[in-house]
Amino acid sequence: MILENPPCARRTGLSLRARPLFLAVRRLTLLLGLALPSTLPAQSADAMLTKVKDVLALTDEAAGAGTRLVRLRGVVTDVSAQHDECSLHDGEAGVSLQLGDEIQAPAQGAEIEVEGRVVSEPFLQRTRTRIKATKLTVLGAGALPPAKPTSVKNVAEFRQLDQWVSVEGTVLQVRSSMTLFTIQIVSEATSCNVLVRDWPRTSIPRDWIGGKVRVTGVNRAYLPGSSFLSLVAPSPAQVSVLKTGVVDPLDAPATTVNALRGGCRKKIRGSS
């Protein structure tokens, strides 16, 4: 006697004609299950980065490989005088963009979307992670993000490299030339030099010496390979006078030697 539906077929609820299809589907499922664990990590490792903080979290080796792709969106906080680089802030962190000849530099304050790859380069005995842009799209006007308060020492030592920061200090010097306007400020016995772009040459301040200012800008080197200028403010709007100083340094108030430790410009008297 031939059983039309053997016990195994009855237990699974399958007819003899349906069993080959069932086995084929089951075999394919097993094969896919074995393949997924090996492919998912590779996809995750090569995923496009969309946050600046994730770019900056890469190791020097990973950044230096030049293979990690990015698509970032943010506001332009600074544009170089040569229009070959700019700084982007996505609301959480900032990063520097290299712009090739085929990419037109955006305006400061513009909201942009940029695609490119992560690169690494030497910077004053350390490494600097940047983005080499391959495509840049201007989305419209943006709003500058809130600046992160930091110290003069941090700015002078580039501890907030490429970040949008604000710093306060006592004015030691103000210099103006045909192309540059710089302020030297000091706090807690450490000084730094600030470049302010587009300062009107007809409005050079005369009463800042010994006063106090707050400056917002990007903690970056204005001159390649030099740490002399360590903060770049994109416009005069990023400079606030907190306290006026004196026109003539000799008009500074008299003080003692111990009081000079605070970094203010003052006048002392003594005898030899």
Q: What is the mean pLDDT of the chain?
A: 85
pLDDT at res. 178: 83
- What is the reported pLDDT for 247? 82
CA distance 129 to 115: 15
Over residues 180-193, the pLDDT tens digits come to 999 999 999 999 99
User: Which one has a higher pLDDT value, 267 or 162?
Assistant: 162
Domain ranges of the chain: 52-141, 148-262
Q: Say how far residue 24 (Cα) sits from the centre of its chain.
A: 54
Work out the pLDDT band at 11, boundaries 50, 70, 90.
very low
Cα 219 to Cα 229: distance, rounded to the nearest angstrom: 9
pLDDT for res 39: 43
SS3 content of the chain, % helix, strand, coil (to 5): 20, 35, 40
For 94-135, the pLDDT digits (tens) are 999 999 899 999 999 999 999 999 999 999 989 999 999 999
pLDDT at 63 over 50: yes
Indicate if the pLDDT at residue 140 is higher than 60: yes
- Domain 148-262 of CATH type 2.40.50.140: yes
d(CA 254, CA 268): 5
Q: What is the 3-state secondary structure (H, E, C) of 152-220?
A: HHHHHCCCCCCCEEEEEEEEEEEEECCCCEEEEEEECCEEEEEEECCCCCCCCCCCCECCEEEEEEECC
pTM: 0.77
For residue 135, the number of C-alpha atoms closer than 13 Å in the C-beta half-sphere is 9
8 Å CB contact between 55 and 71:
no
The partner residues of 241 in beta bridges, in order of sequence, read 213
pLDDT at 254: 64
| Domain 52-141, second-level architecture | Beta Barrel (2.40)
Local structure of 95: helix, strand or coil: strand
| DSSP assignments along 219-242, one per residue | ---SSTT--SEEEEESSGGGEEEE
